[in-house]
Amino acid sequence: MSDPLKPLHSDTSLVKSKLEYFSSLSDGALKASLQPGQKDSLKARPDGTLLDGHHRIAILRSRGVDVDALPREIIAKN
């Protein structure tokens, strides 16, 4: 099992307009956009630190989705 996802930045740094846009999408659409191989897939460090997908993960979390179970691309720290 992967490490739990943790934000790189605080929730206060999330952009309101992006949150509003992603809030209009279904859970399925958000999950599909995060799939590995997609242009803006869910990317995280091996320790679970989020690198891409912050806004979509925040929306899914607020809806009670187990985001820690989502597939992700692991990006090693240089």
In whole angstroms, give the CA distance from residue 76 to residue 48.
11
Count: domains in the chain: 1
User: In angstroms, rounded to a whole number, what is the distance separating the alpha carbons of residues 72 and 43?
Assistant: 6
DSSP letter assigned to residue 53: -
Query: What's the pLDDT score for residue 1?
Result: 63
Tell me the residue range of the domain where 39 lies.
Answer: 11-74
pTM of the model: 0.92
In a domain, 43, yes or no: yes
Average pLDDT (18-34) is 98
Tokens 């803006």 locate to: 40
> Is 2 inside any structural domain?
no
Distance CA 53, CA 58 (A): 8
33-46 per-position pLDDT tens digit: 999 999 999 999 99
Is 4 a member of any domain?
no
